Structure 1
Amino acid sequence: MNRLDGKVAIVTGGASGIGRATALLFAEAGAQVVVADIDGAGAEETAKQIVASGAAAVAVQGDVSAEEDCRRIVRTAVDTYGGLHVLFNNAGIIRRTTVLDLDADEWDRVMAVNVRSVFLMCKHAVPLMTEGGSIVNTGSGWGLKGGGNAISYCASKAAVVNMTRALAIDHAKAGIRVNSVNPGDTNTPMLRDEARQLNEDWAAFEADAADRPMGRSGSPEEIAQAVLFLASDAASYVTGSALVVDGGGLA
């Protein structure tokens, strides 16, 4: 049941990290994948990897905080593959600051990319989804508890987690499930960017990220497996859930 045969999936933030790993896994599981990212070259590279494996994919360059781009991404899925069954809202950014060092424009950008994008993608995707559709939104462990030097990120991911619950309630009768996956520290370009923002040595930062019961940070492929579960019929009775995938860190 952990398959997506014959289904059409959109992955935002698909140029790298968790998005790329999930797009590749969705294709391996039988999906036709629309890879969307503001980094058009990165999205193209992900799509090329999928096509090289013998599966179907198309890349779309777009800013998911812009409504017209969201509409275009959704229409690409329907026009290219004839439908839409899975939406993975994964695009996100982080700013590692306290409230004292964060200006209003930076706050607005984090909220636009991390929260507004989920609203816009769902607004345009839900009317075109058939019964049995699945939406997975990327939250964070810091959407369920606080974290230091990340006020805008924590606020945005808490919004994603609770928006997911509201969406799940609203669209259950239409047969659409909505869940969030909430990773802990995962070895992605974003994690390395956090170290750079905090002016910390990568080796020390990585060691701190591994300070959890399982003794290591996660891999993008491990988070992708959790997303595939939520997207697939294996999770047919799961909606409104906030699945934590963090090696025991939140525990």
Structure 2
Amino acid sequence: MFTIATWNINSVRLREPLVARLLSEEAPDILCLQEIKSPVEKMPLQGFADLGYRHVVARGQKGYNGVAILSRLPIEDAGDRDYASLGHARHVAARLENGVTIHNFYVPAGGDIPDRAQNEKFGQKLDFLTEMRDAFHADKPQKSIMVGDLNIAPREDDVWSHKQLLKIVSHTPIEVEHLGAAQDAGKWVDITRKDIPSGLLYSWWSYRAKDWDAADKGRRLDHIWATPDIAGAGHGSRILRPVRGWQQPSDHVPVFASFDL
């Protein structure tokens, strides 16, 4: 069995102590980070190695984006893809010794206006998701786990108010449709919702709220999916809400799942 976690850290250098705390207290076998905002060579990798996470596959860039996979288990680099040709570090893959491939994604947020004619970033987000769909159709992934900040809360109970967020980027029908098409193309199983099939569930709370905990206007933007051949081995899903209250937190919290493989 191994446990995997995904977390948009919003600067791995700024929040190195939080990553170290999570690794020490929760000890996932694999931690996938998004929005590391750092070139790989400037990541604080020695501190993570000292905690037992000596294996790293990452793609970074200065000040923006960036994805990394930290592991206590041996992993090999399985490549990356520049979805929608944005020139961004938004995807990286690694392979475990048991043959399981882990894909770590950071889907574009999409800006504030859900209209590609008025907002180039929203168009880029839709194009990114379309290329994910096409890649999954072509590659027919097997024995794979996909995690990351997908920047979409697809279900009505993945947001604090379905009605009020229908025209808000991350929960608009067109985004949900595009994400669903990508999921269907790879026949991906949403492990979190397989384990927790009903009820409000969030992994992100805005910095704009004066008291995020009391307001509780969250969204489930962070996901763990698996291909059907291994989805049955996934279990133990949980979202670490208390992490949002740590000092100088990310606006996202870690999402966990375990696999008996």
TM-score (norm 1): 0.48
> Which structure carries more strand by proportion?
2
TM-score (norm 2): 0.47
> Which structure carries more helix by proportion?
1
